Amino acid sequence: MEASRRIIGAGMSIKQVRLSQKAKLQLIRLKSKTGIENWNILCRWAFCVSINEKTKPSPHQIALDSNVEMTWQIFGGENHEIYLSILKKRCLNDGLDIKSETLNNQFKLHLHRGISYLATPKAINSINDLIKSAIT
């Protein structure tokens, strides 16, 4: 119960979402394969793919050097608070704090790992492959 209060009680911690150039190129390929036009929708898929992994993402520097940028509310849409709660819960499960810096870093790591997973050659070649990846 205490962990639930900490997750919900903390204020907004992520304001902007920015991608690396590599992630941008991977998403461009995914957009063409799936027909999904919006960056934020593909980014949500990628985030969920990574969050679902049992292992922590490898800590490394990610250059946020592309021109793809969106607000947290655009990333999460009407469910942006749910995505933030999921991230906070994952951080706590991984033995991390839920300070703003940690949340921003872990989100960036999960997002980029998820994009890499989705962009693995032959992993996703159509919208059907994307849907299958979510239900298997």
- Percentage of the chain surpassing pLDDT 70? 90
Alpha helices in the chain (DSSP H): 2-9, 21-34, 39-52, 72-76, 80-93, 100-119, 127-135
The pTM score is 0.88
HSE-up of 128 (CA within 13 Å, CB side)? 0
Residue 136 pLDDT class (50, 70, 90 cuts) = low
CATH 1.10.1220.160 for the 2-135 domain, yes or no = yes
